[in-house]
Chains A and B, each alone.
Chain A
Amino acid sequence: MQTTYLQAVGDALREEMRRDEKIVIFGEDVAEFGNIFGLTRGMLEEFGAKRVRNTPISETAIVGTALGASVTGLRPVAELMYADFTMVAFTELFHCVSKWRYMHGPDFRTPLVIRCAMGASNGAGAEHSNCVESLFMHAPGLTIISPSTPYDAKGLLKSAIRSDDPVLFCEHKQLYQTRGEVPEGDYTIPIGVADVKREGKDVTVIAVGLMVRRALEAAETLEKEGIGVEVIDPRTLAPFDKETVFRSLRKTHHAVVVEESTRTGGIGAELAAMLQEELYDELDGPVGRVAALDVPMPYNITLEKTTVPDAGRIAAAVRAQLARN
């Protein structure tokens, strides 16, 4: 069945809420309005006002409430609208949510999911376009999921909801209306398992979120030039599936990391460091990085396009990687 990414996320929520009455959802404008993207539309009517709740504009309270509810037996799925707003509740996520179990002991379980919509989306500007995975990769204890297809989004959200650990679930705004095959009925995708989106023999491209699609576009172009690109989508940034990446690199010996967040201190920085530490002998060159420019996301569309990597930049980075041989 072909579905949009938005529909897949919504279906995962609905199906899980039907399965487990401990699941509650809350956030800004999620009830009558059905979330600003229409993702939770109809859920208030189906599940009632006790389980589908609006909140005031109070991100710290949203995250704190999710934590307290999870500690006491509920399985909350809270929404922060834009991923940028995770920063409003950064302390609550970084200090409280990710550390609560470690700080208080093994009797504590925090089965909660924080959902947010991230990424550049045509002029959303500096405060509504951020990708935040790398910020939270610095928070041990937190599971970070960033799906790129409807199939992954649905299966991973179900796993996130069923997990007893806290999950930050990042949905990309530009992917909401993309379509893909999603099977009928219940299925889950395990957390911490990467997916090889395209096989190739020459270069391994590790891409996240929207960048997976752009990496696949670049791979099409490069194929015509005789360059085989293997595209790996980690899907889960933490915990990170090293083995799938290592297996690919033992074949290609070249790595390029593609992300939408700013370059400095980003996902690429971490993966490049990790790969040179753990797989140095397999690498035929330095790990390439393609990322957003180190600039607040500009409002102007041309400047925005200049900031965020596209297929052309990814292809150029791959060619440069091979040219080092």
Chain B
Amino acid sequence: MSESKEFLTGLYRDLLTVRLFEERQIEIYALGKVPGHIHSGVGEEAPYAGVFATRKEGDYFKITHRPIGAAAILGMPLKTMFAEVMGKETGNARGRGGVLHLADKSKGMIGFSGTLGCDAGVADGAALSIQMAGTDNVVYTFFGDGTANRGPVYEAMNLAAVWQLPVLFVCNNNQFAISTYASWSSRVEHPAADRAAGYGMPSRAVDGTDVLAVYEAAKELVAGIRAGNGPAVLECRTYRWRGHFEGDQMKYRDAAVTEKWTREKDCVANFGRSLVADGVATEEELSAIRASIAAEIDEAVAFAEASPEPKPEEILQGLYVD
């Protein structure tokens, strides 16, 4: 590996932070501490960690419902994240938005929609701001294989290409749209990357469980975007470890296949092992990283639990600018 130890262990920390956030989300959901539904992204951390490793100051980001823990990579405080997930006053939207709307504007996050894909153009708008300002910044926007079939995604891709906007469209292809196989809902192997050519965009399709493969592909595409060559598409193939929602019995798929993916293609465990094998970090160092993240998450969850509920008499606050 040619990257520095600091970079690689940082990448490991990002992966593991999302993993532990997603796991804790499942726990607090099971305890009845989350008002709505969660969509665990355990196993799908690498597309975010690898892609975000190419970011720089002034870039914008639009994540999705899975994994929302990705917001932590961008520096959104875990306390705020858990508070919003629990619907508390100390969340970013004061408990009014919830799991589908974690966002920290100070970190470049522009928000996202729970009606998947209808926010695709929002990335174009942020990219328009960048283009008007004349910087070499980029908008990173994520969506899944299911959303890759939505019209607004195509409109946003086409407009970005026509206006040559600096957008990296990242498809996290976890192979399932609730129960529907990506291989059924699209006649091409890569529902985002294979269609990019139709809009005149370059694309790459990579193993989304290999964080360095994701990083290298993103780096190449982002370099082109920063150079002013317009948008690009990156598709990362992962596997949705859990159900669409917690409680999903997943009778629509073969448990043996799921077991194989989780055993062989665990992006966090595999990357950790390679760091140790290559002499980049020791088991102890990785354990220390894990312990520090776990402690931060414990503290964040405690903070969120102790936080006040929003007040009914303030329910209209936040609707209009005062």
A264 within 8 A of B: no
Instruction: Given A91-B118, A141-B319, decide whether A70 and B101 contact each other with a Cβ distance below 8 A.
Output: no
Q: What B residues does A95 contact at CB under 8 A?
A: 113, 115, 118
Flag the segment in A1-9, A38-46, A60-68, A127-135 that touches B. Answer: A60-68
A247 within 8 A of B: no
B54 within 8 A of A: no
Query: What residue of chain B has the Cβ atom nearest to residue A57's Cβ?
Result: B155
Measured between alpha carbons, how far is A147 from B106 in the docked complex, in Å?
Answer: 37
B162/A56 in contact, CB under 8 A: yes
CB distance from B62 to the nearest CB of A (A): 8
Flag the segment in A102-110, A228-236, A291-299, A303-311 that touches B. Answer: A102-110
Measured between alpha carbons, how far is A95 from B91 in the docked complex, in Å?
Answer: 20
Flag the segment in B127-135, B173-181, B245-253, B279-287 that touches A. Answer: B127-135
CB distance from B81 to the nearest CB of A (A): 12
Measured between alpha carbons, how far is A163 from B111 in the docked complex, in Å?
Answer: 21
Q: What B residues does A163 contact at CB under 8 A?
A: 321
B319/A66 in contact, CB under 8 A: no
A105/B93 in contact, CB under 8 A: yes
Q: What A residues does B155 contact at CB under 8 A?
A: 56, 58-61, 64
CB distance from B209 to the nearest CB of A (A): 30
A72/B319 in contact, CB under 8 A: no
Measured between alpha carbons, how far is A163 from B322 in the docked complex, in Å?
Answer: 11
Q: Mark A75-104, 1 if CB is under 8 A from B, else 0.
A: 010000000000000011001100011111
A56/B126 in contact, CB under 8 A: no
B125/A105 in contact, CB under 8 A: no
B14 within 8 A of A: no
B121/A61 in contact, CB under 8 A: yes
B221 within 8 A of A: no
Measured between alpha carbons, how far is A140 from B319 in the docked complex, in Å?
Answer: 8
Q: What B residues does A107 contact at CB under 8 A?
A: 92, 104-106
Partner of B125, one of A60, A72, A164, A165: A72
For chain A residues 8-66, which have a beta carbon within 8 Å of chain B? Answer: 24, 50-51, 53, 55-56, 58-66
Instruction: Given A101-B321, A104-B97, A107-B105, decide whether A61 and B60 contact each other with a Cβ distance below 8 A.
Output: no
Q: What A residues does B127 contact at CB under 8 A?
A: 68
A65/B94 in contact, CB under 8 A: no
Taking each of A50, A68, A165, which has the highest tally of chain B beta carbons within 10 Å of its own beta carbon?
A68
A106/B318 in contact, CB under 8 A: yes
Instruction: Given A66-B125, A71-B110, decide whether A60 and B118 contact each other with a Cβ distance below 8 A.
Output: yes
Instruction: Given A68-B126, A95-B113, A103-B101, decide whether A62 and B93 contact each other with a Cβ distance below 8 A.
Output: no
B122/A96 in contact, CB under 8 A: yes
A102/B96 in contact, CB under 8 A: yes
For chain B residues 86-128, which have a beta carbon within 8 Å of chain A? Answer: 91-94, 96-98, 100-101, 103-106, 110-111, 113, 115, 118-128
Partner of A74, one of B132, B139, B319: B132
Q: How many A residues touch the partner, as a band? A: 35 or more
For chain B residues 293-314, which have a beta carbon within 8 Å of chain A? Answer: none
Instruction: Given A64-B152, A105-B93, A106-B94, decide whether A72 and B121 contact each other with a Cβ distance below 8 A.
Output: no
B121/A63 in contact, CB under 8 A: yes
B105/A108 in contact, CB under 8 A: yes
B125/A101 in contact, CB under 8 A: no
B36 within 8 A of A: no
Q: What B residues does A74 contact at CB under 8 A?
A: 125, 128-129, 132
Partner of B158, one of A58, A67, A76, A108: A58
B159 within 8 A of A: yes
Query: What residue of chain A has the Cβ atom nearest to residue B130's Cβ?
Result: A72
Instruction: Given A95-B113, A105-B94, A106-B94, decide whether A65 and B121 contact each other with a Cβ distance below 8 A.
Output: yes
Q: What B residues does A67 contact at CB under 8 A?
A: 119, 121-122, 125
Instruction: Given A56-B158, A71-B110, A106-B318, decide whether A64 and B96 contact each other with a Cβ distance below 8 A.
Output: no
Q: What A residues does B124 contact at CB under 8 A?
A: 61, 64-65, 68
Taking each of A59, A63, A108, which has the highest tally of chain B beta carbons within 10 Å of its own beta carbon?
A108
Measured between alpha carbons, how far is A241 from B250 in the docked complex, in Å?
Answer: 52
Measured between alpha carbons, how far is A60 from B116 in the docked complex, in Å?
Answer: 13
Q: What A residues does B128 contact at CB under 8 A?
A: 24, 65, 68-69, 74, 76
Q: What A residues does B7 contact at CB under 8 A?
A: none
In the A-B complex, the 7 residue pairs with the smallest Cβ-Cβ separation, listed nearest first, are A64-B121, A68-B125, A69-B125, A68-B122, A61-B155, A72-B129, A58-B155
List 23 interface pairs A-B (beta carbons < 8 Å), by A numbering: A55-B162, A56-B158, A58-B159, A59-B155, A61-B121, A64-B152, A65-B121, A65-B122, A65-B156, A67-B119, A70-B125, A72-B130, A91-B115, A96-B115, A96-B118, A102-B93, A102-B96, A102-B318, A103-B96, A103-B101, A104-B97, A104-B103, A104-B111
Q: A64-B156, A103-B96 are in contact. List 9 more A-B contacts (CB 8 A).
A: A61-B124, A64-B118, A64-B124, A68-B125, A96-B122, A103-B101, A105-B93, A105-B103, A106-B318
